[in-house]
């Protein structure tokens, strides 16, 4: 097992030695009560060892710079390196979050312009950048819905979510103090309109939906859904995690949505996964605007920028400071470097790539053992069912996923959405070449072919990764997040 950097530490060893202080030491500058009595416990290590340590660690994890990462619903697309250069500029990277607005005009301008761009993309006029994850954007949306209804003098108890919804949707609804009511899925993969009609009443605060949904299909009845929801006095919430399929082509605001969250770290690029910083801004319609989180980044009449705290109906703050600023810089760079046409082209290519890979996987063994769950033209992702594969070869979707690692591919999302038996959810993204997509389809075919001869091969996979098969249930329920010293 790789030693921790502390285990590699040797007393007195240094990577860097600061020059002697050549100005008089001001003992009064920092009062005693703020001084440590003991020096901090830091690893003592040479520079080459530090470089080797972190380089080795970085190669142990599968990442999008290492290979194809078709993790459905997560949009693991290439993160252009230009964004890293821009985000690393001293004026952005070294800006203190408590800097007075008058001294942080450039950062506020970037945030304001990002708000404007996101508003245009969603087709909704007002944006708050504050939420720091898609799920926190959802929470903001539920709290905004509550504030909106309360301001109308109405108390509603339920929020509807389709049975295809991402797990964070019902979890957020519960956190927001509402009761979750599930709406079924029709044969074409869209919302079951009859079920919706039966459930949407004046006790419903909102319907949370993503379009395309998590089956990767666009709900053609969205206008009717919007009318049903609005006629009942409820809000329509858009889970923007799937915006990568439609940005620049269709706008949730035009479909009738009142509140939208974006996953900047997915659609608008940012290294994510493994808990990297994210951003889940929200966009809202006029009627929801008074309740947006406080403060808002605003542009004054004289062209300068400020933070507006004077928002009496606001739901309040969702976090300290304004959000993960580095994510804003990267997303801003992404939007400006692609432009409106480039964003539309990215969506089109994401959809084309998904349909190409879906068609490739419909050929040969995969077509029989791993059929597509809802066989329609898909958007940026599609869902396969490993039910026949399990029945005929004894291979679970998890086994296939693990064996893909040996072929150099990150597995697609497995066992989600829940309504598909042995689900495998594939999102190739627009940044992959035809060659990568073909190689992935060939690998699936080869795994199925070898499983016909020897199913045990996949069942014991992976063989080539730094760790073999893990006890995932135990790791989730009883995570050990500190490596014991000496192990
Ligand atoms: C459809 C959908 N909604 C919401 C989320 C939540 O986003 P986040 O992981 O940023 O909280 C995700 C991502 O995991 C998602 O795929």
CA 55 to chain centre: 25
Q: Would the CB of 263 count as within 6 Å of ligand 1?
A: yes
Compute φ and ψ for 396, nearest 5 degrees: -80, 160
Q: Would the CB of 272 count as within 6 Å of ligand 1?
A: no
Summary mean pLDDT of the chain: 95
- What's the pLDDT tens digit per position in 140-154? 999 999 999 999 999
**Separation between Cα atoms, residue 431 and residue 349, nearest integer Å:** 8
From its phi and psi, is residue 23 left (phi > 0), alpha (psi between -120 and 50) or beta? beta
Q: Please say if the pLDDT value at position 13 is more than 60.
A: yes
Q: Please say if the pLDDT value at position 2 is more than 90.
A: no
pLDDT at 484: 64
pLDDT at 472: 85
* Mean pLDDT along residues 167-186: 97
Sign (positive or negative) of CA dihedral 63, 65, 71, 73: positive
- What's the pLDDT tens digit per position in 179-193? 999 999 999 999 999
Q: Would the CB of 210 count as within 6 Å of ligand 1?
A: yes
CB atoms within 10 A of CB 171: 16
- pLDDT interval class at 3 (50, 70, 90): confident
Among 168, 243, 262, 275, the mutation site with the greatest number of ligand 1 atoms within 8 A of its Cβ is 168
pLDDT at 36: 85
Rounded to the nearest angstrom, the distance between the alpha carbon of 384 and the centre of ligand 1 is: 20
List the one residue out of 140, 128, 142, 147 whose CA is nearest residue 296.
Answer: 128
Q: Please say if the pLDDT value at position 382 is more than 60.
A: yes
Q: Would the CB of 132 count as within 6 Å of ligand 1?
A: no
Q: Would the CB of 288 count as within 6 Å of ligand 1?
A: no
DSSP letter (8 states) at residue 93 = H
DSSP letter (8 states) at residue 43 = -
Q: Would the CB of 252 count as within 6 Å of ligand 1?
A: no
Rounded to the nearest angstrom, the distance between the alpha carbon of 371 and the centre of ligand 1 is: 25
| Choice among 3-7, 99-103, 360-364, 403-407 with the minimum mean pLDDT | 3-7
pTM of the predicted structure, to 2 decimals: 0.93
Rounded to the nearest angstrom, the distance between the alpha carbon of 134 and the centre of ligand 1 is: 5
Q: What is the dihedral of CA 243, 246, 250, 254, to 10 degrees?
A: -20
Cis amide leading into 7 (omega within 30): no
Q: CB of 247 within 8 A of CB of 119?
A: no
Q: CB of 252 within 8 A of CB of 63?
A: no
Q: CB of 458 within 8 A of CB of 411?
A: no
- pLDDT interval class at 32 (50, 70, 90): confident
Rounded to the nearest angstrom, the distance between the alpha carbon of 93 and the centre of ligand 1 is: 26
Q: Please say if the pLDDT value at position 119 is more than 70.
A: yes
**Separation between Cα atoms, residue 257 and residue 243, nearest integer Å:** 13
Rounded to the nearest angstrom, the distance between the alpha carbon of 416 and the centre of ligand 1 is: 12
Q: Could you tell me whether strands 259-262 and 296-299 are parallel, antiparallel, or unpaired per DSSP bridges?
A: unpaired
**Separation between Cα atoms, residue 22 and residue 132, nearest integer Å:** 43
Rounded to the nearest angstrom, the distance between the alpha carbon of 275 and the centre of ligand 1 is: 12
Q: CB of 91 within 8 A of CB of 106?
A: yes
**Separation between Cα atoms, residue 66 and residue 408, nearest integer Å:** 9
pLDDT at 28: 75
One-letter-per-residue 3-state SS of 100-132: CHHHCHHHHHHHHHHHHHHHHHHCCCEEECCCC
Burial of 421 (0-12, 13-18, 19+ CB in 10 A): middle
Where do the DSSP E strands lie in 185-319? 204-209, 235-240, 259-262, 282-284, 296-299, 305-308
**Separation between Cα atoms, residue 16 and residue 45, nearest integer Å:** 9
Among 130, 135, 219, 324, the mutation site with the greatest number of ligand 1 atoms within 8 A of its Cβ is 135
Rounded to the nearest angstrom, the distance between the alpha carbon of 411 and the centre of ligand 1 is: 18
* Mean pLDDT along residues 475-483: 85
Q: Please say if the pLDDT value at position 486 is more than 60.
A: no
Q: What is the dihedral of CA 216, 220, 222, 225, to 10 degrees?
A: -110
CA 388 to chain centre: 31
**Separation between Cα atoms, residue 443 and residue 445, nearest integer Å:** 5
Q: Would the CB of 241 count as within 6 Å of ligand 1?
A: yes
């Amino acid at each position: 097992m790789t030693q921790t950097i502390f285990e590699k530490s040797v007393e007195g060893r240094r990577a860097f030695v600061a020059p002697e202080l050549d100005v008089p030491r001001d003992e009064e500058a920092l009062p005693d009560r703020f001084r440590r009595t003991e020096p901090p416990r830091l690893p003592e290590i040479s520079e080459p060892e530090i470089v080797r340590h972190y380089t080795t660690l970085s190669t142990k994890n599968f990442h999008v710079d290492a290979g194809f990462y078709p993790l459905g619903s997560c949009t693991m697309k290439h993160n252009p390196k230009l964004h890293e250069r821009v985000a690393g500029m001293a004026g952005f990277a070294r800006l203190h979050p408590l800097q007075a607005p008058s001294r942080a005009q450039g950062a506020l301008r970037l945030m304001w312009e990002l708000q404007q761009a996101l508003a245009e993309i969603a087709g909704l006029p007002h944006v708050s950048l504050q939420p720091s994850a898609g799920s926190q954007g959802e929470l903001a949306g539920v709290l905004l819905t509550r504030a909106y209804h309360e301001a109308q003098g109405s108390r509603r108890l339920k929020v509807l979510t389709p049975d295809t919804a991402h797990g964070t949707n019902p979890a957020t609804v519960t956190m927001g103090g509402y009761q979750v009511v599930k709406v079924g899925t029709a044969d074409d993969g869209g919302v079951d309109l009859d079920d919706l009609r039966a459930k949407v009443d004046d006790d419903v605060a909102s319907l949370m939906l993503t379009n395309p949904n998590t089956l990767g299909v666009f709900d053609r009845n969205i206008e009717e859904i919007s009318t049903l929801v609005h006629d009942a006095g409820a809000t329509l919430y858009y889970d923007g995690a799937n915006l990568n399929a439609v940005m620049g082509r269709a706008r949730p605001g035009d479909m009738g949505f009142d509140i939208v969250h974006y996953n900047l770290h997915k659609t608008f690029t940012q290294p994510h996964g493994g808990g990297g910083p994210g951003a889940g801004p929200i966009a809202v319609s006029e009627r929801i605007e008074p309740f947006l989180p406080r403060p808002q980044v605003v542009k004054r009449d004289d062209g300068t920028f400020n933070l507006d705290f004077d928002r009496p109906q606001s739901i309040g703050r969702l976090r300290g400071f304004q959000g993960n600023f580095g994510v804003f810089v990267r997303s801003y760079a992404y939007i400006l470097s692609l432009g409106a046409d480039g964003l539309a082209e990215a969506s089109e290519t994401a959809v084309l790539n998904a349909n190409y890979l879906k068609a490739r996987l419909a050929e040969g063994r995969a077509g029989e053992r791993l059929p597509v769950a809802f066989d329609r033209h898909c958007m940026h992702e599609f869902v396969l069912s490993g039910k026949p594969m399990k029945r005929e070869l004894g291979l679970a979707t998890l086994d296939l996923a693990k064996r893909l690692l040996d072929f150099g591919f990150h597995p697609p999302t497995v066992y989600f959405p829940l309504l598909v038996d042995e689900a495998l959810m594939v999102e190739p993204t627009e940044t992959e070449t035809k060659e990568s997509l073909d190689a992935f389809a060939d690998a699936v075919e080869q795994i199925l072919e070898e499983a016909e001869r020897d199913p045990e091969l996949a069942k014991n996979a992976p063989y080539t990764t730094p760790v073999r098969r893990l006890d995932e249930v135990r790791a989730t329920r009883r995570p050990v997040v500190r490596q014991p010293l000496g192990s």
